[in-house]
Amino acid sequence: MTNSVTSQRASTLWIMVLTLASTATTLAFACATPFPALAALTAVHMRQRDGVALAIAAWVASQAVGFGFLGYPHDLGTMLVGAAIGVAAVAGAIAAHATAARMTAPLAARLAAAYLAGFAAFKLVILAFTLAKGDPCTAFTAEVLGRQLLRNAAIMAGLLALYRALVAIGVPAARPPMAAA
Protein backbone atom coordinates (compact mmCIF):
# COMPACT_ATOMS: atom_id res chain seq x y z
CA MET A 1 0.00 0.00 0.00
CA THR A 2 1.43 3.37 -0.94
CA ASN A 3 2.04 6.11 1.57
CA SER A 4 -0.62 8.27 -0.12
CA VAL A 5 -3.27 5.54 0.23
CA THR A 6 -2.28 4.93 3.85
CA SER A 7 -2.46 8.66 4.56
CA GLN A 8 -5.89 8.95 2.94
CA ARG A 9 -7.16 5.98 4.97
CA ALA A 10 -5.88 7.61 8.15
CA SER A 11 -7.72 10.82 7.28
CA THR A 12 -10.90 8.85 6.52
CA LEU A 13 -10.56 7.10 9.87
CA TRP A 14 -10.23 10.48 11.62
CA ILE A 15 -13.25 11.86 9.79
CA MET A 16 -15.24 8.89 11.12
CA VAL A 17 -13.83 9.12 14.66
CA LEU A 18 -14.44 12.86 14.94
CA THR A 19 -17.91 12.53 13.40
CA LEU A 20 -18.80 9.93 16.05
CA ALA A 21 -17.34 12.10 18.82
CA SER A 22 -19.25 15.16 17.60
CA THR A 23 -22.43 13.07 17.38
CA ALA A 24 -21.96 12.21 21.06
CA THR A 25 -21.75 15.92 21.88
CA THR A 26 -24.84 16.55 19.76
CA LEU A 27 -26.74 14.00 21.85
CA ALA A 28 -25.27 15.22 25.13
CA PHE A 29 -25.94 18.91 24.52
CA ALA A 30 -29.17 18.55 22.50
CA CYS A 31 -27.95 19.69 19.11
CA ALA A 32 -24.81 21.57 19.91
CA THR A 33 -22.56 20.00 17.32
CA PRO A 34 -19.13 21.60 17.83
CA PHE A 35 -18.55 22.68 14.23
CA PRO A 36 -16.02 25.43 15.09
CA ALA A 37 -14.04 22.98 17.25
CA LEU A 38 -13.97 20.42 14.46
CA ALA A 39 -12.95 23.12 11.98
CA ALA A 40 -10.00 24.19 14.12
CA LEU A 41 -8.79 20.65 14.75
CA THR A 42 -8.86 19.77 11.09
CA ALA A 43 -7.16 23.06 10.20
CA VAL A 44 -4.05 22.03 12.12
CA HIS A 45 -4.18 18.26 11.63
CA MET A 46 -5.80 17.60 8.25
CA ARG A 47 -6.07 18.88 4.70
CA GLN A 48 -8.82 21.38 3.88
CA ARG A 49 -10.63 18.83 1.73
CA ASP A 50 -10.75 16.46 4.71
CA GLY A 51 -11.89 19.29 6.99
CA VAL A 52 -14.78 20.07 4.66
CA ALA A 53 -15.62 16.36 4.44
CA LEU A 54 -15.68 16.20 8.25
CA ALA A 55 -17.92 19.29 8.42
CA ILE A 56 -20.37 17.65 6.02
CA ALA A 57 -20.24 14.27 7.77
CA ALA A 58 -20.77 15.87 11.19
CA TRP A 59 -23.62 17.95 9.77
CA VAL A 60 -25.34 14.87 8.29
CA ALA A 61 -24.93 13.08 11.61
CA SER A 62 -26.30 16.06 13.57
CA GLN A 63 -29.32 16.30 11.27
CA ALA A 64 -29.96 12.56 11.66
CA VAL A 65 -29.77 12.92 15.46
CA GLY A 66 -32.00 16.00 15.44
CA PHE A 67 -34.69 14.67 13.14
CA GLY A 68 -34.39 11.04 14.28
CA PHE A 69 -33.91 11.32 18.04
CA LEU A 70 -34.44 14.89 19.25
CA GLY A 71 -37.81 15.39 17.61
CA TYR A 72 -37.09 18.25 15.21
CA PRO A 73 -40.26 19.23 13.37
CA HIS A 74 -40.36 17.97 9.79
CA ASP A 75 -41.24 21.33 8.23
CA LEU A 76 -39.63 23.56 5.64
CA GLY A 77 -38.44 26.17 8.16
CA THR A 78 -36.59 23.60 10.24
CA MET A 79 -35.05 22.05 7.15
CA LEU A 80 -33.88 25.47 5.95
CA VAL A 81 -32.25 26.11 9.32
CA GLY A 82 -30.54 22.73 8.98
CA ALA A 83 -29.30 23.67 5.51
CA ALA A 84 -27.97 27.00 6.85
CA ILE A 85 -26.11 25.12 9.58
CA GLY A 86 -24.54 22.89 6.92
CA VAL A 87 -23.39 25.90 4.91
CA ALA A 88 -22.08 27.51 8.10
CA ALA A 89 -20.16 24.35 9.04
CA VAL A 90 -18.43 24.28 5.66
CA ALA A 91 -17.71 28.03 5.83
CA GLY A 92 -16.21 27.56 9.29
CA ALA A 93 -13.97 24.74 8.05
CA ILE A 94 -12.75 26.82 5.11
CA ALA A 95 -12.11 29.90 7.29
CA ALA A 96 -10.24 27.86 9.91
CA HIS A 97 -8.03 26.25 7.27
CA ALA A 98 -7.35 29.55 5.51
CA THR A 99 -6.32 31.10 8.82
CA ALA A 100 -4.08 28.25 9.97
CA ALA A 101 -2.45 27.95 6.54
CA ARG A 102 -1.29 31.58 6.68
CA MET A 103 0.43 31.16 10.03
CA THR A 104 3.90 29.91 10.93
CA ALA A 105 3.23 30.17 14.67
CA PRO A 106 3.37 27.24 17.10
CA LEU A 107 0.52 24.72 17.02
CA ALA A 108 -1.36 26.23 19.98
CA ALA A 109 -1.46 29.68 18.35
CA ARG A 110 -2.54 28.24 14.98
CA LEU A 111 -5.22 26.18 16.72
CA ALA A 112 -6.54 29.20 18.64
CA ALA A 113 -6.58 31.42 15.54
CA ALA A 114 -8.22 28.69 13.45
CA TYR A 115 -10.82 28.20 16.17
CA LEU A 116 -11.69 31.89 16.32
CA ALA A 117 -11.87 32.12 12.51
CA GLY A 118 -14.02 29.00 12.29
CA PHE A 119 -16.33 30.22 15.06
CA ALA A 120 -16.69 33.67 13.47
CA ALA A 121 -17.39 32.30 9.99
CA PHE A 122 -19.89 29.76 11.35
CA LYS A 123 -21.75 32.41 13.35
CA LEU A 124 -21.70 34.99 10.54
CA VAL A 125 -23.41 32.56 8.17
CA ILE A 126 -26.03 31.75 10.80
CA LEU A 127 -26.51 35.47 11.49
CA ALA A 128 -26.95 36.21 7.78
CA PHE A 129 -29.56 33.46 7.53
CA THR A 130 -31.34 34.71 10.65
CA LEU A 131 -31.43 38.27 9.30
CA ALA A 132 -32.60 37.09 5.86
CA LYS A 133 -35.51 35.26 7.50
CA GLY A 134 -36.36 38.36 9.51
CA ASP A 135 -36.02 36.47 12.79
CA PRO A 136 -34.94 38.21 15.99
CA CYS A 137 -31.25 37.78 16.71
CA THR A 138 -31.68 36.67 20.31
CA ALA A 139 -29.09 33.91 19.89
CA PHE A 140 -26.46 36.54 19.11
CA THR A 141 -26.19 38.30 22.45
CA ALA A 142 -22.76 38.60 24.02
CA GLU A 143 -23.83 36.20 26.77
CA VAL A 144 -25.03 33.49 24.38
CA LEU A 145 -22.05 33.85 22.03
CA GLY A 146 -19.63 33.80 24.96
CA ARG A 147 -21.19 30.63 26.34
CA GLN A 148 -21.05 28.97 22.91
CA LEU A 149 -17.45 30.10 22.38
CA LEU A 150 -16.40 28.58 25.71
CA ARG A 151 -18.41 25.37 25.26
CA ASN A 152 -16.92 24.78 21.81
CA ALA A 153 -13.42 25.55 23.12
CA ALA A 154 -13.87 22.99 25.90
CA ILE A 155 -15.12 20.41 23.41
CA MET A 156 -12.16 21.22 21.15
CA ALA A 157 -9.77 20.59 24.04
CA GLY A 158 -11.45 17.25 24.69
CA LEU A 159 -11.33 16.26 21.03
CA LEU A 160 -7.67 17.31 20.83
CA ALA A 161 -6.93 15.14 23.87
CA LEU A 162 -8.78 12.23 22.19
CA TYR A 163 -6.80 12.76 18.98
CA ARG A 164 -3.47 12.85 20.80
CA ALA A 165 -4.33 9.84 22.97
CA LEU A 166 -5.33 7.73 19.99
CA VAL A 167 -2.22 8.75 18.02
CA ALA A 168 -0.09 7.95 21.11
CA ILE A 169 -1.44 4.39 21.21
CA GLY A 170 -0.75 3.83 17.53
CA VAL A 171 -3.70 5.11 15.54
CA PRO A 172 -2.14 6.76 12.49
CA ALA A 173 -2.29 10.55 12.42
CA ALA A 174 -4.48 12.23 9.84
CA ARG A 175 -3.02 13.53 6.60
CA PRO A 176 -1.32 16.81 7.49
CA PRO A 177 -2.78 20.07 6.18
CA MET A 178 0.33 20.95 4.17
CA ALA A 179 0.06 17.77 2.05
CA ALA A 180 -0.80 18.29 -1.59
CA ALA A 181 -4.53 18.48 -2.19
The Cα–Cα gap between 115 and 95 comes to 9
Average pLDDT rounded to a whole number, residues 75-83: 88
Residue 177 within any structural domain of the chain: no
Q: Which of 67, 73, 58 is nearest to 22 (CA)?
A: 58
Query: Is 99 in contact with 114 (CB distance < 8 Å)?
Result: yes
Residue 45 within any structural domain of the chain: yes
> Does position 137 have pLDDT exceeding 80, yes or no?
no
Residue 138 within any structural domain of the chain: yes
Domain that holds residue 40: 3-168
Give the angle subtended at the CA of 10 by the CAs of 19 and 60, to the nearest 5°. Answer: 20
Residue 63 within any structural domain of the chain: yes
Residue 181 within any structural domain of the chain: no
Write out pLDDT tens, residues 91-108: 999 999 999 999 999 999
Dihedral, 173, 171, 160, 5 alpha carbons, nearest 10: 30
Residue 173 within any structural domain of the chain: no
Total structural domains in the chain? Answer: 1
> Does position 180 have pLDDT exceeding 80, yes or no?
no
Residue 179 within any structural domain of the chain: no
Residue 95 within any structural domain of the chain: yes
Q: What pTM, to 2 d.p., does this model score?
A: 0.88
